[in-house]
Amino acid sequence: MNRLTDAARRAYANLSHARQQWLVFSGALAVELAIFVVDYLTGSDIRLHTLYIFPVSVIALKCERRWLQGVAFAMSMVFQLVTYAQEKIASIEYIVDASVAALSLLVAMTLAGMARINHQRAIDLATSDELTGIANRRAFIAALDAEIVRQRRSGGALSLAIIDLDGFKALNDTRGHSAGDDALRLLVSILARSVRASDFPARVGGDEFAVLMPGMPAGECGHFCKQLTEEVAQRMVESGFAITASIGFICFEAPPDSSLAAVAQADAAMYRVKEAGRRGRAG
Ligand SMILES: Nc1nc2c(ncn2[C@@H]2O[C@H](COP(=O)(O)OP(=O)(O)OP(=O)(O)O)[C@@H](O)[C@H]2O)c(=O)[nH]1
């Protein structure tokens, strides 16, 4: 049984986001339809229509497209009305009943929507850096783990750079933390302009950043790091910060043993730059 649910979970995870949404939508509507059929056939004796709230809530929780939620809501209302019409639609009791059902559905959809927004907010907080808005160490390691798995399956190169600022503590000490924060935000804007859309930049420590570059060969990675070193030095000086960057990089033609081993190798290259006097790159 466990194996079956694991296989189903894996198959679901492998679907594209759009397909996942359609699957949830059609599954929940099928459940709703089944409730309606049983309810209709039993002449509403067992009043299953109160359960419409569950499929509609699932759709509100899982489907981002508003019109899918609207369709789910409209369908459950139609089902409700047909079920009530079977009885005495003119009776005030059933009109009140139908209104309460509509209200409950709306409340369920709103609560489910709020739960989804809160869930997304919690994910954002757990995976992004509050100061700069880019990915944090946890998200970076997760992305690196996923890339290593992809590389084991499909091959290709995988490059990784660790960027550590030089003179950052002195900037904090002489100009204050807010100047330090500005320098960190500036570095992030430099990174955002320098990396490709397929790269993954992150803040992995106080003044330490990392960039994951799937598919980038060693030569190109060395060139990228050289340009980044120069760009950082120039833009920091222009902004009045006496700061440079030491960059360690590594290109894996074969998958590394683990994400931690990969980061340790790039870190070792970065420390070689520090030992050699800072401001530069090594790989
Ligand atoms: N302004 C600011 N400072 C931070 C933040 N996080 C960590 N720091 C500071 O960053 C500094 C990092 O210290 P170091 O790694 O010694 O910095 P460094 O002077 O560049 O030294 P090297 O890395 O050896 O070149 C520490 O003083 C931390 O307090 C932050 O979010 N904002």
Q: Is 174 inside a domain boundary?
A: yes
Average pLDDT, the chain: 87
Residue-level pLDDT at 87: 64
Regarding whether 235 and 167 lie in a shared domain, the answer is yes
> Under a CB-based contact definition with an 8 Å cutoff, are residues 129 and 206 in contact?
no
Task: Identify the domain boundary among 95, 127, 159.
Answer: 127
Regarding whether 101 and 66 lie in a shared domain, the answer is yes
If one counts the domains in the chain, the total is: 2
Regarding whether 197 and 259 lie in a shared domain, the answer is yes
Regarding whether 268 and 157 lie in a shared domain, the answer is yes
Residue-level pLDDT at 67: 86
Regarding whether 185 and 269 lie in a shared domain, the answer is yes
Q: Which domain holds residue 225?
A: 137-282
pLDDT in tens, 206-219: 999 999 999 999 89
Which residue, among 63, 58, 97, 60, has the nearest Cα to 80 in the 3D structure?
Answer: 97
Measured distance CA(47)–CA(162) in Å, rounded: 62
Measured distance CA(23)–CA(18) in Å, rounded: 9
Q: In what order do the strands lie in the sheet with 158-166?
A: 200-203, 208-214, 158-166, 244-252, 280-282
Q: Is 46 inside a domain boundary?
A: yes
* Smallest CA separation from ligand 1 atom 22, residue: 166
Regarding whether 163 and 34 lie in a shared domain, the answer is no
Radius of gyration of the CA atoms of the chain, in A: 28
Regarding whether 142 and 105 lie in a shared domain, the answer is no
Which residues are within 8 A (CB) of 125 and not within 5 positions of it... i.e. 6 or more apart? none
Regarding whether 159 and 228 lie in a shared domain, the answer is yes
pLDDT greater than 70 at residue 171: yes
Percentage of residues of the chain with pLDDT beyond 90: 48
Which amino acid is present at 207? D
**Domain CATH for 172:** 3.30.70.270
Q: Is 65 inside a domain boundary?
A: yes
Joined together, the tokens standing for residue 191 give 């990174």
Determine the average pLDDT of the residues in 137-155. Answer: 92
> Under a CB-based contact definition with an 8 Å cutoff, are residues 94 and 84 in contact?
yes
pLDDT greater than 60 at residue 267: yes
pLDDT greater than 80 at residue 100: no
Measured distance CA(247)–CA(161) in Å, rounded: 7
Which residues are within 8 A (CB) of 226 and not within 5 positions of it... i.e. 6 or more apart? 281
Measured distance CA(142)–CA(127) in Å, rounded: 10
Residue-level pLDDT at 235: 94
Determine the average pLDDT of the residues in 196-203. Answer: 93
pLDDT in tens, 177-195: 999 999 999 999 999 999 9
Residue-level pLDDT at 265: 93
Residue-level pLDDT at 104: 81
Which residue, among 271, 275, 265, has the nearest Cα to 247 in the 3D structure?
Answer: 271
Measured distance CA(189)–CA(203) in Å, rounded: 12
Joined together, the tokens standing for residue 119 give 């869930």
* Smallest CA separation from ligand 1 atom 7, residue: 206
Confidence of residue 126 (pLDDT cuts 50, 70, 90): confident
Distance 181 CA to ligand 1 centre (A): 10
Residue-level pLDDT at 234: 94
Distance 180 CA to ligand 1 centre (A): 8
Please give the backbone phi and psi of residue 99, each rounded to the nearest 5 degrees, phi first: -65, -40
Regarding whether 228 and 202 lie in a shared domain, the answer is yes
Task: Identify the domain boundary among 70, 102, 127.
Answer: 127
Measured distance CA(160)–CA(174) in Å, rounded: 32
Regarding whether 175 and 263 lie in a shared domain, the answer is yes
ipTM, two decimals = 0.95
Residue-level pLDDT at 90: 57
Residue-level pLDDT at 1: 66
> Under a CB-based contact definition with an 8 Å cutoff, are residues 213 and 160 in contact?
yes
Regarding whether 120 and 64 lie in a shared domain, the answer is yes
Percentage of residues of the chain with pLDDT beyond 70: 96
Residue-level pLDDT at 178: 94
Pocket lined around ligand 1, Cβ cut-off 6 Å = 131, 164-170, 172, 177, 180-181, 184, 206-207, 274, 278
Angle, CA of 204, 205 and 207, to the nearest 5°: 115
Distance 92 CA to ligand 1 centre (A): 71
Task: Identify the domain boundary among 74, 109, 127.
Answer: 127
Residue-level pLDDT at 141: 95
pLDDT greater than 60 at residue 89: no
Specify the ligand 1 atom closest to the Cα of 168: 20
Which residues are within 8 A (CB) of 207 and not within 5 positions of it... i.e. 6 or more apart? 164, 165, 168, 184
Q: Is 229 inside a domain boundary?
A: yes
User: Looking only at Cα atoms, what is the longest distance across the chain?
Assistant: 88
**Count of all residues that appear for the chain in the document:** 283
Regarding whether 210 and 158 lie in a shared domain, the answer is yes
Joined together, the tokens standing for residue 252 give 């894996």
Q: Is 104 inside a domain boundary?
A: yes
Determine the average pLDDT of the residues in 34-43. Answer: 85
* Smallest CA separation from ligand 1 atom 13, residue: 169
Q: Is 132 inside a domain boundary?
A: no
Distance 108 CA to ligand 1 centre (A): 48
pLDDT in tens, 46-72: 778 778 888 888 888 888 788 888 888
